């Protein structure tokens, strides 16, 4: 299976898992939108809560140029880690909702160099 087809299946699987979750109150349904022709994938919410209409995006992504472009992520802690766990490398996930659209890998902290020492030994020598 080529990269685009693999990413497409991972996206669909992760979105379907989130679609199973129900809000703690209200009559709100999650609906998935998969447009494989244009490679657009979304999770929407529609319904009623306390007499008010609820509708809108929860998540929206597109596949372009061999990468997953997350255009909107309204999931509390973000969906990107689930995509990585599903098999999409961090450098192929573009956070398009941020200025300059960094990849997920570019937003992660880099390991700190301890000048030849590592772990506890490095921390002890710095505090001495």
- State the pLDDT at residue 119: 39
Among 3-7, 34-38, 64-68, 103-107, whose mean pLDDT is lowest? 103-107
- pLDDT, tens only, 77-92: 889 999 999 999 999 9
Among 27-31, 41-45, 75-79, 116-120, whose mean pLDDT is lowest? 116-120
Distances (CA, A) of 2 to 5, 12, 62, 83: 5, 16, 16, 17
- pLDDT, tens only, 4-13: 999 999 999 9
pLDDT surpasses 50 at 14 = yes
- CATH number, domain of 11, equals 3.30.310.110
Structural domain total, the chain:
1
Residue environment code for 45-61, b if the CB has 16+ CB neighbours within 10 A, otherwise e: beeeeeeeeeeeebbbb
- What is the extent of the structural domain holding 89? 3-127
Higher pLDDT, 44 or 109: 44
Give the 3-state secondary structure of residue 123. helix
Confidence of residue 111 (pLDDT cuts 50, 70, 90): low
What average pLDDT does the chain have? 86
| pTM of the shown model | 0.80
């Amino acid at each position: 299976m080529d990269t685009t087809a693999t990413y497409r299946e991972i996206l669909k699987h992760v979105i379907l898992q989130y679609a199973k979750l129900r809000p703690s109150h209200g009559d709100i349904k999650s609906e998935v939108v998969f447009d494989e022709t244009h490679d657009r994938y979304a999770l929407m919410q529609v319904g009623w809560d306390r007499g008010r209409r609820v509708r809108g995006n929860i998540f929206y992504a597109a596949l372009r140029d061999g990468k997953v472009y997350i255009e909107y992520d309204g999931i509390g802690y973000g969906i990107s880690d689930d995509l990585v766990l599903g098999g999409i490398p961090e450098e192929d996930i573009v956070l398009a909702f941020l200025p300059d659209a960094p990849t997920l890998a570019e937003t992660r902290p880099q390991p700190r160099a301890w000048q030849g020492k590592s772990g506890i030994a490095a921390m002890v020598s710095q505090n001495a």
